[in-house]
Amino acid sequence: MISRPLLLCLMLGLALSGTVQAHQPAPPPLLAHSSSRDYADYRSYEASGNDDEDTFSGGRFWRDHPCIAIAGGLSEADLDPLQGVSLGSSGAVDLDLGYVSHGLASWSDACSTITRYRFHHVLISRISTSLRQDDEAAVTFDLWRFGLGYKNGFSYELGRARRLTLYNGDSFVWSQLNTKRIPSGATPKDSLRLGAFDGDLRFGSRAESGIQIDLVGPLAVDARFERAIVFPRHLVWKWLGSELIEEIAQASANRFVRSVLRSSPTAAPVLSLLLRGGLSYGIYELRRSKMNWPFASAPPLAFDTVKAGLSFTF
């Protein structure tokens, strides 16, 4: 037979257990659909006292989904210092294949309508003057490229599985330019400059900023602006130095955006788009005259492209 003191202790223990469970804080709204194991991970992470949300970005709160994105637009090419001719306006088409995911922007309930966005992808792209009206006074060309890209940013959760996403992206690309026609006004120096790219596979990079909105089910539309450069030759050490400078600048921008996210969550997506996009725009502008700015190097073949597209997430 159970003694009275032992029974009282058992009843007290059950009461305390029920009280603790009743007062256990509810998970953030965006975790409401998560499993108990996910929630346990969240509580464990929160208890660790680590306030850097990025350190948990690899957790199960990120859900990867296959994604196909297609886009088309108008492109303007520039190669400094062409004298007797110019590069013709061109059309552009892109195909991106990869995995898109959304995760918690912050553990704070104030960020319950903001999520982080990322898209790892491979890309195939064509930029060609044949996709626009032919200009007899300009160089005509066809350029194919492929590469690896990464986009990230923030999304506003609009409800009913719809989002408004603002993102920035970077890619490493390999391009092959085939010149179709060089006008008679080209100087020998122009021909030499174009010949440094013509027919060979060249390394380069691109940066883009865009806005995407979900429509129905897996379908989303987006508009984006891209700046890309193609190197006449790859100077590894100077390129690494230039990339390091950009990465330090972007890391500082990201840190500032995270600070804003904690104090004014709804402003963070717009600020991230403008700050990081403006930084990329400025760096690529400097690279138009020195491909590995700030180090002495030749001018690259540069493209500015405006595109609109569709994406399908499965």
Closest CA to 310 of 18, 28, 79, 96: 96
Q: Please give the sequence-ordered ranges of beta strands (E in DSSP) within the chain, or none if there are none.
A: 63-79, 86-87, 90-104, 114-128, 138-159, 162-181, 201-214, 219-230, 301-313
- Asked if the structure places residue 48 within a domain, the reply is no
- For the stretch 37-92, pLDDT in tens is 444 444 454 454 444 444 444 344 567 899 999 999 999 999 887 887 888 789 99
Asked if residue 277 is part of any domain, the answer here is no
- For the chain, the residue count is 314
Residue 153: inside a domain: yes
Judge whether 76 lies within some domain: yes
- The answer to whether residue 256 sits within a structural domain is no
* pLDDT tens digits, 225-262: 999 999 999 999 999 999 999 999 999 999 999 999 88
pTM, entire model? 0.78
Give pLDDT, residue 86.
82
CATH number at residue 177: 2.40.160.20
Q: C-alpha angle 169/174/180, rounded to 5°?
A: 115
SS (H, E, C) 219-234: EEEEEEEEEEEECCCC
The string of pLDDT tens digits covering residues 155-189 is 998 877 788 999 999 999 999 999 988 888 788 88
Model confidence at 30, pLDDT cuts 50, 70, 90, reads: very low
Range of the domain at 99: 60-233+300-313
pLDDT > 70 in the chain, percent: 77
- The total of structural domains in the chain comes to 1
What pLDDT is recorded for position 83?
Answer: 80
Q: Is residue 173 part of a domain?
A: yes
Residue 208 pLDDT grade (very low, low, confident, very high; cuts 50, 70, 90): very high
Q: Are 112 and 30 in contact (CB under 8 A)?
A: yes
